[in-house]
Structure 1
Amino acid sequence: MRNKEATYGLIVETAYKLFAENGFDKTSLAMIAKEVGISKPAIYYYFDSKEKLIDFLFEEICKEIIKQYTLTVDDLTVNNFEQFLLNIGFQMIEEQERDVYFNKIFNEYILLATRKEKYMNQLNKIQRGYFENFSRLMNHGVKIGVVNGENVESKSNMLVMVIDNIGNFILTGLELDYKGIWEEAVKSVLKGVRNG
Protein backbone atom coordinates (compact mmCIF):
# COMPACT_ATOMS: atom_id res chain seq x y z
CA MET A 1 0.00 0.00 0.00
CA ARG A 2 1.32 3.44 -0.98
CA ASN A 3 1.83 6.16 1.58
CA LYS A 4 0.26 9.60 1.19
CA GLU A 5 3.43 11.16 -0.22
CA ALA A 6 3.79 8.46 -2.90
CA THR A 7 0.10 8.78 -3.83
CA TYR A 8 0.44 12.56 -4.05
CA GLY A 9 3.45 12.21 -6.37
CA LEU A 10 1.61 9.70 -8.53
CA ILE A 11 -1.43 11.99 -8.82
CA VAL A 12 0.79 14.87 -9.96
CA GLU A 13 2.71 12.70 -12.44
CA THR A 14 -0.47 11.13 -13.83
CA ALA A 15 -2.22 14.50 -14.15
CA TYR A 16 0.82 15.89 -15.99
CA LYS A 17 0.65 13.08 -18.55
CA LEU A 18 -3.13 13.00 -18.95
CA PHE A 19 -3.44 16.78 -19.24
CA ALA A 20 -0.70 16.70 -21.89
CA GLU A 21 -2.31 13.84 -23.83
CA ASN A 22 -5.97 14.85 -23.57
CA GLY A 23 -5.96 18.53 -22.67
CA PHE A 24 -7.39 20.17 -19.58
CA ASP A 25 -10.99 20.14 -20.78
CA LYS A 26 -11.08 16.43 -21.61
CA THR A 27 -9.28 15.23 -18.48
CA SER A 28 -11.32 14.80 -15.32
CA LEU A 29 -10.27 14.13 -11.74
CA ALA A 30 -12.11 10.82 -12.05
CA MET A 31 -9.84 9.83 -14.96
CA ILE A 32 -6.75 10.77 -12.96
CA ALA A 33 -8.00 8.90 -9.87
CA LYS A 34 -8.75 5.78 -11.93
CA GLU A 35 -5.28 5.84 -13.51
CA VAL A 36 -3.66 6.26 -10.09
CA GLY A 37 -5.79 3.46 -8.62
CA ILE A 38 -7.71 5.47 -6.05
CA SER A 39 -11.36 6.47 -5.77
CA LYS A 40 -12.51 9.84 -7.08
CA PRO A 41 -13.44 11.02 -3.55
CA ALA A 42 -9.91 10.08 -2.39
CA ILE A 43 -8.30 12.50 -4.86
CA TYR A 44 -10.06 15.40 -3.10
CA TYR A 45 -7.88 14.74 -0.07
CA TYR A 46 -4.93 15.93 -2.19
CA PHE A 47 -6.55 18.47 -4.55
CA ASP A 48 -10.02 19.84 -3.89
CA SER A 49 -10.59 20.76 -7.55
CA LYS A 50 -9.19 20.18 -11.01
CA GLU A 51 -8.35 23.90 -11.17
CA LYS A 52 -6.15 23.61 -8.06
CA LEU A 53 -4.30 20.69 -9.66
CA ILE A 54 -3.86 22.65 -12.91
CA ASP A 55 -2.58 25.64 -10.89
CA PHE A 56 -0.18 23.47 -8.90
CA LEU A 57 1.30 21.88 -12.04
CA PHE A 58 1.66 25.30 -13.64
CA GLU A 59 3.59 26.63 -10.65
CA GLU A 60 5.89 23.59 -10.65
CA ILE A 61 6.54 23.92 -14.40
CA CYS A 62 7.25 27.64 -14.01
CA LYS A 63 9.73 26.99 -11.18
CA GLU A 64 11.56 24.46 -13.36
CA ILE A 65 11.70 26.84 -16.34
CA ILE A 66 12.99 29.70 -14.19
CA LYS A 67 15.66 27.41 -12.75
CA GLN A 68 16.72 26.46 -16.31
CA TYR A 69 17.13 29.97 -17.62
CA THR A 70 18.82 31.48 -14.58
CA LEU A 71 22.31 31.78 -16.00
CA THR A 72 25.54 32.55 -14.15
CA VAL A 73 27.89 34.52 -16.38
CA ASP A 74 30.69 35.55 -14.03
CA ASP A 75 32.86 32.50 -14.75
CA LEU A 76 32.54 32.78 -18.52
CA THR A 77 35.68 33.57 -20.47
CA VAL A 78 36.80 33.76 -24.08
CA ASN A 79 37.68 30.05 -23.82
CA ASN A 80 34.36 28.70 -22.53
CA PHE A 81 31.72 31.20 -23.67
CA GLU A 82 30.79 29.48 -26.95
CA GLN A 83 30.56 26.02 -25.39
CA PHE A 84 28.45 27.39 -22.53
CA LEU A 85 26.05 28.98 -25.00
CA LEU A 86 25.88 25.79 -27.05
CA ASN A 87 25.23 23.70 -23.94
CA ILE A 88 22.25 25.87 -22.94
CA GLY A 89 20.46 24.94 -26.16
CA PHE A 90 21.70 21.35 -26.26
CA GLN A 91 20.39 20.69 -22.74
CA MET A 92 16.99 22.24 -23.50
CA ILE A 93 16.70 20.20 -26.70
CA GLU A 94 17.65 16.96 -24.92
CA GLU A 95 15.19 17.62 -22.10
CA GLN A 96 12.35 18.35 -24.52
CA GLU A 97 13.12 15.24 -26.55
CA ARG A 98 13.14 13.15 -23.34
CA ASP A 99 9.93 14.62 -21.91
CA VAL A 100 7.35 14.14 -24.66
CA TYR A 101 4.67 15.69 -22.45
CA PHE A 102 6.27 19.05 -21.68
CA ASN A 103 5.49 20.98 -24.86
CA LYS A 104 2.00 19.51 -25.02
CA ILE A 105 1.08 20.59 -21.51
CA PHE A 106 2.85 23.92 -21.91
CA ASN A 107 0.72 24.61 -24.99
CA GLU A 108 -2.36 23.86 -22.86
CA TYR A 109 -1.22 26.58 -20.48
CA ILE A 110 -0.67 28.98 -23.39
CA LEU A 111 -4.26 28.36 -24.48
CA LEU A 112 -5.46 28.83 -20.91
CA ALA A 113 -3.53 32.11 -20.76
CA THR A 114 -5.67 33.49 -23.58
CA ARG A 115 -8.65 33.16 -21.22
CA LYS A 116 -7.11 33.76 -17.80
CA GLU A 117 -4.95 36.75 -17.01
CA LYS A 118 -3.04 35.12 -14.12
CA TYR A 119 -1.58 32.56 -16.53
CA MET A 120 -0.77 35.22 -19.12
CA ASN A 121 1.00 37.31 -16.51
CA GLN A 122 3.13 34.39 -15.37
CA LEU A 123 3.98 33.35 -18.95
CA ASN A 124 4.97 36.95 -19.74
CA LYS A 125 7.16 36.99 -16.63
CA ILE A 126 8.87 33.79 -17.80
CA GLN A 127 9.44 35.19 -21.30
CA ARG A 128 10.85 38.43 -19.89
CA GLY A 129 13.17 36.34 -17.71
CA TYR A 130 14.48 34.48 -20.75
CA PHE A 131 15.10 37.71 -22.63
CA GLU A 132 16.76 39.38 -19.63
CA ASN A 133 19.05 36.43 -18.90
CA PHE A 134 20.12 36.01 -22.51
CA SER A 135 20.68 39.77 -22.73
CA ARG A 136 22.92 39.61 -19.66
CA LEU A 137 24.77 36.66 -21.18
CA MET A 138 25.30 38.36 -24.54
CA ASN A 139 26.37 41.64 -22.93
CA HIS A 140 28.93 39.68 -20.94
CA GLY A 141 30.08 38.23 -24.27
CA VAL A 142 30.56 41.78 -25.58
CA LYS A 143 32.50 42.68 -22.42
CA ILE A 144 34.94 39.77 -22.82
CA GLY A 145 35.23 40.31 -26.57
CA VAL A 146 33.51 37.25 -28.06
CA VAL A 147 30.33 38.98 -29.20
CA ASN A 148 30.23 42.04 -31.43
CA GLY A 149 28.39 44.81 -29.58
CA GLU A 150 26.44 45.88 -32.65
CA ASN A 151 22.74 44.98 -32.31
CA VAL A 152 23.50 42.90 -29.23
CA GLU A 153 19.88 42.99 -28.00
CA SER A 154 18.62 41.72 -31.36
CA LYS A 155 21.17 38.90 -31.26
CA SER A 156 20.12 38.03 -27.73
CA ASN A 157 16.43 38.08 -28.65
CA MET A 158 17.08 35.97 -31.74
CA LEU A 159 18.68 33.22 -29.64
CA VAL A 160 15.71 33.16 -27.26
CA MET A 161 13.28 32.96 -30.17
CA VAL A 162 15.28 30.23 -31.92
CA ILE A 163 15.42 27.98 -28.85
CA ASP A 164 11.72 28.60 -28.13
CA ASN A 165 10.74 27.68 -31.68
CA ILE A 166 12.95 24.60 -31.65
CA GLY A 167 10.79 23.41 -28.75
CA ASN A 168 7.65 23.97 -30.82
CA PHE A 169 9.04 22.01 -33.75
CA ILE A 170 10.08 19.12 -31.48
CA LEU A 171 6.42 18.97 -30.40
CA THR A 172 5.30 18.46 -34.02
CA GLY A 173 7.51 15.39 -34.33
CA LEU A 174 9.37 16.84 -37.30
CA GLU A 175 12.84 15.33 -37.31
CA LEU A 176 15.40 18.05 -37.88
CA ASP A 177 18.97 18.57 -36.73
CA TYR A 178 17.92 20.78 -33.83
CA LYS A 179 21.37 20.84 -32.26
CA GLY A 180 22.84 21.84 -35.61
CA ILE A 181 20.28 24.64 -35.95
CA TRP A 182 21.12 25.89 -32.47
CA GLU A 183 24.84 25.72 -33.26
CA GLU A 184 24.33 27.84 -36.38
CA ALA A 185 22.32 30.39 -34.38
CA VAL A 186 25.06 30.59 -31.75
CA LYS A 187 27.84 30.95 -34.32
CA SER A 188 25.92 33.71 -36.05
CA VAL A 189 26.09 35.92 -32.96
CA LEU A 190 29.73 35.40 -32.08
CA LYS A 191 32.33 37.97 -33.03
CA GLY A 192 34.38 37.13 -36.11
CA VAL A 193 31.64 34.94 -37.63
CA ARG A 194 29.91 37.91 -39.24
CA ASN A 195 30.51 38.49 -42.90
CA GLY A 196 32.17 41.83 -43.51
Structure 2
Amino acid sequence: MPETKEESVKARILRVARNLIAQQGIYKTSLAEISREAGISRGTLFYYFPSKQDLLYQIMEESIQELTEKVVAAIKEIQSNTKTRDIFYLLLRYIGESHALNQTNFHLFQEAMAKNQRLKKRFQESYRQWQSLMGEHICQLFPKTAARYGPQNLAALMLALIDGVGLQSLLEYGSLDYKALARAIAGIFQEDSL
Protein backbone atom coordinates (compact mmCIF):
# COMPACT_ATOMS: atom_id res chain seq x y z
CA MET A 1 0.00 0.00 0.00
CA PRO A 2 1.51 3.37 -1.00
CA GLU A 3 2.42 5.85 1.70
CA THR A 4 -0.05 8.72 2.13
CA LYS A 5 1.09 12.34 2.21
CA GLU A 6 0.44 12.45 5.96
CA GLU A 7 2.55 9.31 6.55
CA SER A 8 5.26 10.74 4.31
CA VAL A 9 5.46 14.01 6.26
CA LYS A 10 5.51 12.19 9.59
CA ALA A 11 8.19 9.78 8.36
CA ARG A 12 10.30 12.71 7.11
CA ILE A 13 10.00 14.48 10.48
CA LEU A 14 11.09 11.32 12.30
CA ARG A 15 13.99 10.67 9.91
CA VAL A 16 15.27 14.25 10.22
CA ALA A 17 14.88 14.26 14.01
CA ARG A 18 16.68 10.92 14.37
CA ASN A 19 19.56 12.12 12.21
CA LEU A 20 19.92 15.39 14.12
CA ILE A 21 19.72 13.66 17.50
CA ALA A 22 22.31 11.08 16.41
CA GLN A 23 24.65 13.86 15.26
CA GLN A 24 24.29 16.41 18.03
CA GLY A 25 22.19 14.99 20.85
CA ILE A 26 18.76 15.81 22.18
CA TYR A 27 19.53 19.12 23.89
CA LYS A 28 21.21 20.67 20.87
CA THR A 29 18.38 19.59 18.57
CA SER A 30 15.55 22.11 18.57
CA LEU A 31 12.07 21.73 17.16
CA ALA A 32 12.76 24.79 14.98
CA GLU A 33 15.79 23.05 13.50
CA ILE A 34 13.82 19.85 12.91
CA SER A 35 11.03 21.70 11.11
CA ARG A 36 13.54 23.69 9.03
CA GLU A 37 15.52 20.57 8.01
CA ALA A 38 12.29 18.67 7.25
CA GLY A 39 11.06 21.55 5.08
CA ILE A 40 7.86 22.08 7.05
CA SER A 41 6.39 24.80 9.26
CA ARG A 42 6.51 24.53 13.03
CA GLY A 43 2.72 24.33 12.98
CA THR A 44 2.95 21.21 10.82
CA LEU A 45 5.50 19.73 13.21
CA PHE A 46 3.18 20.41 16.16
CA TYR A 47 0.28 18.84 14.26
CA TYR A 48 2.14 15.52 14.22
CA PHE A 49 4.02 15.92 17.50
CA PRO A 50 2.44 18.34 20.02
CA SER A 51 5.65 18.34 22.09
CA LYS A 52 9.28 17.36 21.91
CA GLN A 53 8.42 14.62 24.41
CA ASP A 54 5.97 13.08 21.96
CA LEU A 55 8.55 13.21 19.19
CA LEU A 56 11.20 11.61 21.42
CA TYR A 57 8.81 8.86 22.44
CA GLN A 58 8.00 8.02 18.83
CA ILE A 59 11.71 7.97 17.94
CA MET A 60 12.39 5.72 20.92
CA GLU A 61 9.61 3.33 19.90
CA GLU A 62 10.90 3.17 16.33
CA SER A 63 14.50 2.70 17.50
CA ILE A 64 13.54 -0.23 19.70
CA GLN A 65 11.45 -1.67 16.86
CA GLU A 66 14.34 -1.30 14.39
CA LEU A 67 16.79 -2.91 16.80
CA THR A 68 14.35 -5.75 17.44
CA GLU A 69 13.90 -6.29 13.71
CA LYS A 70 17.68 -6.43 13.23
CA VAL A 71 18.14 -8.99 16.00
CA VAL A 72 15.17 -11.09 14.86
CA ALA A 73 16.50 -10.98 11.28
CA ALA A 74 19.86 -12.22 12.55
CA ILE A 75 18.15 -14.99 14.51
CA LYS A 76 16.13 -16.03 11.45
CA GLU A 77 19.36 -16.48 9.49
CA ILE A 78 20.51 -19.05 12.01
CA GLN A 79 20.13 -22.65 10.95
CA SER A 80 19.66 -25.53 13.38
CA ASN A 81 23.25 -26.65 12.85
CA THR A 82 24.81 -23.21 13.37
CA LYS A 83 27.60 -23.14 15.93
CA THR A 84 27.08 -21.05 19.04
CA ARG A 85 30.00 -18.73 18.23
CA ASP A 86 28.52 -18.08 14.78
CA ILE A 87 25.17 -17.20 16.36
CA PHE A 88 26.83 -14.62 18.57
CA TYR A 89 28.99 -13.31 15.74
CA LEU A 90 25.89 -12.65 13.67
CA LEU A 91 24.09 -10.91 16.55
CA LEU A 92 27.12 -8.82 17.56
CA ARG A 93 27.82 -7.76 13.99
CA TYR A 94 24.21 -6.70 13.39
CA ILE A 95 24.22 -4.57 16.53
CA GLY A 96 27.73 -3.18 16.23
CA GLU A 97 27.27 -2.11 12.62
CA SER A 98 24.10 -0.14 13.40
CA HIS A 99 26.11 2.99 14.22
CA ALA A 100 23.43 5.67 13.64
CA LEU A 101 20.85 3.62 15.51
CA ASN A 102 23.27 3.13 18.42
CA GLN A 103 23.95 6.88 18.54
CA THR A 104 20.25 7.72 18.63
CA ASN A 105 19.55 5.08 21.28
CA PHE A 106 22.42 6.35 23.41
CA HIS A 107 21.03 9.90 23.40
CA LEU A 108 17.50 8.68 24.14
CA PHE A 109 18.71 6.46 26.97
CA GLN A 110 20.77 9.30 28.41
CA GLU A 111 17.75 11.62 28.32
CA ALA A 112 15.47 9.02 29.91
CA MET A 113 17.91 8.30 32.73
CA ALA A 114 18.94 11.89 33.39
CA LYS A 115 15.72 13.70 34.20
CA ASN A 116 12.91 13.00 31.79
CA GLN A 117 10.62 10.87 33.96
CA ARG A 118 7.90 10.61 31.31
CA LEU A 119 10.34 9.30 28.72
CA LYS A 120 11.95 7.04 31.34
CA LYS A 121 8.60 5.43 32.18
CA ARG A 122 7.77 4.84 28.52
CA PHE A 123 11.30 3.59 27.90
CA GLN A 124 10.95 1.09 30.76
CA GLU A 125 7.63 -0.19 29.38
CA SER A 126 9.07 -0.62 25.89
CA TYR A 127 12.22 -2.20 27.24
CA ARG A 128 10.22 -4.78 29.22
CA GLN A 129 8.28 -5.69 26.10
CA TRP A 130 11.53 -5.92 24.16
CA GLN A 131 13.06 -8.12 26.85
CA SER A 132 10.09 -10.47 26.71
CA LEU A 133 10.20 -10.70 22.92
CA MET A 134 13.96 -11.23 22.86
CA GLY A 135 13.62 -13.82 25.62
CA GLU A 136 11.33 -15.89 23.43
CA HIS A 137 13.76 -15.84 20.50
CA ILE A 138 16.93 -16.32 22.51
CA CYS A 139 15.46 -19.18 24.54
CA GLN A 140 14.67 -21.03 21.32
CA LEU A 141 18.35 -20.80 20.41
CA PHE A 142 19.65 -21.81 23.84
CA PRO A 143 17.03 -24.02 25.49
CA LYS A 144 19.41 -25.73 27.94
CA THR A 145 20.88 -22.47 29.17
CA ALA A 146 17.39 -20.94 29.45
CA ALA A 147 16.15 -23.93 31.45
CA ARG A 148 19.19 -23.84 33.71
CA TYR A 149 19.29 -20.10 34.46
CA GLY A 150 15.74 -19.01 33.65
CA PRO A 151 14.46 -17.42 30.47
CA GLN A 152 14.15 -13.92 31.99
CA ASN A 153 17.72 -14.03 33.26
CA LEU A 154 18.97 -15.16 29.86
CA ALA A 155 16.97 -12.42 28.14
CA ALA A 156 18.34 -9.80 30.57
CA LEU A 157 21.88 -11.03 29.91
CA MET A 158 21.36 -10.86 26.15
CA LEU A 159 19.96 -7.33 26.35
CA ALA A 160 22.91 -6.25 28.48
CA LEU A 161 25.18 -7.75 25.84
CA ILE A 162 23.33 -5.97 23.02
CA ASP A 163 23.35 -2.64 24.88
CA GLY A 164 27.01 -3.04 25.77
CA VAL A 165 28.07 -3.83 22.22
CA GLY A 166 26.01 -0.88 20.99
CA LEU A 167 27.80 1.45 23.41
CA GLN A 168 31.23 -0.02 22.67
CA SER A 169 30.62 0.38 18.95
CA LEU A 170 30.15 4.11 19.56
CA LEU A 171 33.35 4.37 21.59
CA GLU A 172 35.48 2.10 19.43
CA TYR A 173 33.69 2.36 16.07
CA GLY A 174 35.26 -0.03 13.60
CA SER A 175 37.73 -1.57 16.04
CA LEU A 176 35.64 -4.26 17.74
CA ASP A 177 36.61 -7.82 16.85
CA TYR A 178 33.18 -9.44 16.66
CA LYS A 179 34.61 -12.88 15.97
CA ALA A 180 36.79 -12.81 19.09
CA LEU A 181 33.89 -11.52 21.19
CA ALA A 182 31.64 -14.23 19.77
CA ARG A 183 34.17 -16.96 20.64
CA ALA A 184 34.41 -15.68 24.21
CA ILE A 185 30.66 -15.50 24.68
CA ALA A 186 30.15 -18.91 23.06
CA GLY A 187 32.35 -20.38 25.78
CA ILE A 188 29.74 -19.31 28.31
CA PHE A 189 27.02 -21.05 26.31
CA GLN A 190 29.11 -24.09 25.47
CA GLU A 191 26.52 -26.53 26.78
CA ASP A 192 24.19 -25.45 23.95
CA SER A 193 26.77 -25.79 21.18
CA LEU A 194 25.18 -27.40 18.18
- The answer to whether TM tops 0.5 is yes
The number of residue pairs the alignment matches comes to: 178
- Aligned counterparts of 1:56 and 1:179: Cα–Cα separation in 2: 31
For structure 2, which runs of at least 5 residues remain unmatched after alignment?
none
- Aligned counterparts of 2:50 and 2:56: Cα–Cα separation in 1: 11
SS in 2 for 1:25: coil
Please tell me whether residue 49 in structure 1 is matched to residue 51 in structure 2. yes
The aligned residue for residue 61 of structure 1 is: 63
Q: Which amino acid letter does the alignment assign opposite residue 176 of structure 2? A: D
- In the TM superposition, 1:1-196 aligns within 5 A as 4-70=6-72, 71=75, 76-77=79-80, 79-82=81-84, 83-94=86-97, 96=98, 100-114=99-113, 115-116=117-118, 117-139=121-143, 142=144, 160-173=159-172, 175-188=174-187, 189-191=189-191
For structure 1, which runs of at least 5 residues remain unmatched after alignment?
none
- Cα pair 2:142 2:192 within 8 Å, conserved: no
Q: Which amino acid letter does the alignment assign opposite residue 110 of structure 2? A: L
- Aligned counterparts of 2:67 and 2:76: Cα–Cα separation in 1: 15
- Aligned counterparts of 2:150 and 2:175: Cα–Cα separation in 1: 28
Q: Cα–Cα, structure 1 residues 29 and 137, in superposed 2: closer, same or farther, change >3 Å?
A: same
Deviation of the 1:68 alpha carbon: 3.5
SS in 2 for 1:101: helix
The two structures, once aligned, show a CA RMSD in angstroms of 3.4
Q: Cα–Cα, structure 1 residues 123 and 109, in superposed 2: closer, same or farther, change >3 Å?
A: farther
- Aligned counterparts of 1:13 and 1:109: Cα–Cα separation in 2: 15
Deviation of the 1:14 alpha carbon: 0.6
Indicate the larger mover: 181-190 or 26-35: 181-190
Bigger radius of gyration, 1 or 2? 1
- Aligned counterparts of 1:164 and 1:135: Cα–Cα separation in 2: 18
Decide which structure has greater helix share.
2
Q: TM-score, normalised to structure 1's length?
A: 0.70
Q: Cα–Cα, structure 1 residues 184 and 25, in superposed 2: closer, same or farther, change >3 Å?
A: same
Q: Which amino acid letter does the alignment assign opposite residue 134 of structure 1? A: I
- Aligned counterparts of 2:83 and 2:20: Cα–Cα separation in 1: 40
- Cα pair 1:24 1:108 within 8 Å, conserved: yes
- Cα pair 1:112 1:119 within 8 Å, conserved: no
SS in 1 for 2:182: helix
Which structure would you say has the larger RCO, counting Cα contacts within 8 Å and 6 or more residues apart?
2
Q: Which amino acid letter does the alignment assign opposite residue 13 of structure 1? A: R
Deviation of the 1:178 alpha carbon: 3.0
Identity across aligned pairs (percent)?
A: 21
Q: Cα–Cα, structure 1 residues 131 and 176, in superposed 2: closer, same or farther, change >3 Å?
A: farther
